[in-house]
Amino acid sequence: MFPKADILFTRRSIREYQKDKPVGDDLVRFIVDAAMCAPSARNKQPWHFLVTRDRQKLDMLAALHPYGKMLKDATMAIMVCGDTKLEERESAIALDGAAATQNLLLAAHAAGLGAVWLGMYPRKERTEAMRKVFEYPQNIIPVSLISIGFPAEEKPRNNNFKPERVHMEKWGETIQ
Ligand SMILES: Cc1cc2nc3c(=O)[nH]c(=O)nc-3n(C[C@H](O)[C@H](O)[C@H](O)COP(=O)(O)O)c2cc1C
């Protein structure tokens, strides 16, 4: 309906990548800039972004994440984290990190990259396993790990709209 909103509807989880096409610094900056534009509780912006394009690190992450085998082919991964020194409430770190993650995914898609969100929070064993890759301190809570690369698969747009999940003025009055 609104062409500028296309990326919202066409973003999909992309798990196959062009292995030999690296992501340049300009794109890294663009997508992290977009992530930092996300809303956050009390505007604390408690996030940090751990970026790797190192083949060895990406392979280690692939081995450590139980559902992250696509990282073997990814050319970049970004871990979105929250800092308990900037936001003491863990619930806010999780929510703010999720908002930043979604902005990051949309920016990656807008830039012609493919990406998929890999769950981190609240899995403490994943946090501990990946600490040896990035060496983050104890005040850092990983929220998501995003596998990124230029896409080597195409997927149709989502069509998830369910009118019965929309309640107009009162519960059960669905949208026309
Ligand atoms: C909190 C969260 C955790 C996820 N974890 C994984 C994961 O570990 N591995 C994976 O391949 N996809 C993961 N996904 C991606 C979902 O599987 C995907 O978004 C969903 O199937 C819908 O597909 P779409 O993104 O193409 O619309 C995760 C998504 C979210 C929001």
Domain count of the fold of the chain: 1
Residue 158 CA, chain-centre distance (Å), reads: 18
Residue 102: inside a domain: yes
pLDDT for 176? 85
Q: Rounded CA gap, 100 and 135, in Å?
A: 22
Pocket of ligand 1 (CB under 6 A): 12-13, 15, 67, 116-119, 158
Look up the pTM and report it: 0.98
- CATH code: domain of residue 36: 3.40.109.10
What value does the mean pLDDT take over residues 51-65? 98
Between the CA of 173 and the centroid of ligand 1 the distance, in Å, is 30
**Residue pair 146/104 in contact by the 8 Å Cβ criterion:** yes
Q: Residue 61 is part of which domain span?
A: 11-165
φ, ψ of residue 113 in degrees (nearest 5): -95, 160
What value does the mean pLDDT take over residues 13-39? 98
Residue 157: inside a domain: yes
